[in-house]
Structure 1
Amino acid sequence: MAWIQLRINTHAQRAESVGDQLAELGAQAVTFTDAKDTPWYEPKPGEVQLWPDTQVVGLFDANEDMQPILRQVQGALPENTLIKLDPLEDKDWEREWMDNFHPVRFGKRLWICPSWRDVPDPGAVNVMLDPGLAFGTGTHPTTALCLRWLDGLDLTKCTVVDFGCGSGILGIAALKLGAARVIGIDIDPQAIQASAENARRNSVAEQIELYLPEQQPALNADIVVANILAGPLRELRQVITDYCRPGTMLALSGILKEQAEDISNLYSKDFDMDAIAIEGDWARVSGKRKA
């Protein structure tokens, strides 16, 4: 089926009302994207965050008469608002989406593979993971930084805490790399569900325990990884530190590179910190709990 997309550049304060108007005018779907390449990370569950300069995109049937829709949209917006109409090619969008995902290698041993692709190296450590609702498929630099860190450790018989587990990718990778036990913690029940399903698909469900924060038991671990946000990493420093006994290895990500030094300094009270790892605009901070 062929489509037309109507793109409108506006401010965050106006974006939701513009989206509501497009839906009322017959848009089959409405999405919000960044109009000016502003770094942004996933919001907390239930929280709606929009970029200061937001592009609202309405998807319409190609047979729709767009002129009356354009007149109504233009009448509700300032005169200098950027509005564009673009035809979309008629293609198999599901196949197009699937073709964008390929097996990816992290470090020396670890591969993340979507289920519809052949495993490149059957003898490697392969985690089968499809893109889904919960964050974490290995494609984002913050996840990649953590996966490479895990690949470089000897996880044999280790207990690992995956704080902010999302899809479960880090905990599942740790188990596949030799960890004995993983405790996954997330504030989003949907993430807990996704982690459990992905653990079953990778035959590690019996080795992973999943908790909402209010349900988690008291625990210490050999390895702790938290791929969340700089703000929560600051606020929850003591919670994360308390998971770590002397000698525990810690990795923190979800951090913009300009935030990394501040996070490293904050945790240096209790940890001997490593050099900061950078990938693109993102960073990973890691260290070892002091005796």
Structure 2
Amino acid sequence: MAWLSISIETDCRHAEALADALLEAGALSACIEDADAGTDRETPQFGEPGSVTTPGWERSRVIALLESETDTSALIAACAPIAGLDQTPSFTQETVAEQNWVQLTQSQFDPIRVSERLWIVPSWHQAPDPDAIILVLDPGMAFGTGSHPTTRLCLEWLEQSVTPGISILDYGCGSGILAIAAAKLGASNVLGVDIDLQAVSAATSNAERNAVSARFADSAMDLKGQFDIVVANILSNPLKALAPAICAHVRPGGKLALSGILAEQTEELIASYAPYLPLSVADTRDGWVCLAGIKSKA
């Protein structure tokens, strides 16, 4: 079986309405992309909550998937006025052949070597080094597959910092990758919390798959206790707002690591945490920063 993929260029004022109209008219799927993606005019749209004030791209591209027998010209002519367009926009189309979509998706995710002894391996791959510490993790609903620089920074910091028997709190655990890594590196009391219940569920499943003893819970619960290590890989705005709460869970003499921080946000984050715990730059990668520090015993 084959399908038709159509691509229509429009602007941010009409793109969403056009995508909705195509779906209402029977399109199997519809998405909006930056028509200038891959050029020097590409415009980023993703950042921290509240940072995008005018969502959408001035030159947008609506891409829709249709049944193969669809009269594309008639469909677009019917949807254009519904979307508020005065004229029927031009479009291109191509045939999408039947494929093994699962196999195609899996082929895009290869094992990731974090360090000499730490690998992240999707479940459909063999471990490249069976003697290494293997984190079995598939792409899914929760953030944290190991490919993002912030996750790599935290994993590398954990590898250097975790010692057998310590306790660790992963604040904003996502997929659970950091908590699972800590458990495999020897931590014995591992807790991950997240505001997203899907993340909690995904992290629990990932811990079971990796045969590690790590607990995961809703961060809205009454979280108590202090830990030898606290790690938080989220975004700078929530990191700033949560500074007192996060630092309260670091035991005196314990360590804290933060990531999800852009290089230009470094000084602001350090200042936000200064009343509770001194931080400095532990490492950087691709414009992202990992901050770390030790809580005073006084």
Category of TM-score, reference length = shorter chain = 0.7 to 0.9
Query: Which range is displaced more, 220-229 or 66-75?
Result: 66-75
Counterpart secondary structure, 2:22: helix
Query: Which range is displaced more, 73-82 or 225-234?
Result: 73-82
Contact kept, 8 Å, 1:168 with 1:195, in 2: the verdict is yes
Cα deviation 1:203-228 (Å, max 9, x = unaligned): 11xx3222212324311111111111
Q: Aligned-residue CA RMSD in angstroms?
A: 2.8
**Equivalent residue letter for 1:93:** W
Take 2:75 and 2:63, find their aligned partners in 1: how far apart are those partners? 13
Take 1:67 and 1:10, find their aligned partners in 2: how far apart are those partners? 16
Query: Which range is displaced more, 273-282 or 232-241?
Result: 273-282
1:271 Cα deviation from its structure 2 partner = 2.6
Take 1:226 and 1:163, find their aligned partners in 2: how far apart are those partners? 5
The number of residues matched between the two structures is 286
Q: 1:278 to 1:74 in 2, by over 3 A?
A: farther
Take 2:80 and 2:133, find their aligned partners in 1: how far apart are those partners? 54
- Of 275, 280, 296, the residue aligned with 1:290 is 296
Q: Where does residue 261 of structure 2 map in the other structure?
A: 255
- Of 52, 59, 69, the residue aligned with 2:56 is 52
Q: Where does residue 280 of structure 1 map in the other structure?
A: 286
Q: Where does residue 158 of structure 2 map in the other structure?
A: 150
Query: Which range is displaced more, 233-242 or 89-98?
Result: 89-98
Q: Where does residue 29 of structure 2 map in the other structure?
A: 29
Structure 2 unaligned regions, length at least 5: 36-41
Q: Where does residue 191 of structure 1 map in the other structure?
A: 199
Query: Which range is displaced more, 272-281 or 145-154?
Result: 272-281
Cα deviation 1:73-125 (Å, max 9, x = unaligned): 44333669785434435432221110011111112321111010000111111
Larger Rg: 2
- Of 177, 192, 198, the residue aligned with 2:185 is 177
Q: 1:18 to 1:258 in 2, by over 3 A?
A: farther
- Of 120, 123, 134, the residue aligned with 2:128 is 120
Contact kept, 8 Å, 1:107 with 1:152, in 2: the verdict is no
> What TM-score do you get using the length of structure 1 for normalisation?
0.87
Q: 1:14 to 1:216 in 2, by over 3 A?
A: farther
Contact kept, 8 Å, 2:281 with 2:289, in 1: the verdict is no
1:12 Cα deviation from its structure 2 partner = 5.7
Q: Where does residue 268 of structure 1 map in the other structure?
A: 274
Identity %: 39
Q: Where does residue 234 of structure 1 map in the other structure?
A: 240
2:103 aligned with 1:99: no
Contact kept, 8 Å, 1:260 with 1:276, in 2: the verdict is no
Q: 1:216 to 1:238 in 2, by over 3 A?
A: same
Counterpart secondary structure, 1:222: strand
2:250 aligned with 1:244: yes
Q: Where does residue 20 of structure 1 map in the other structure?
A: 20
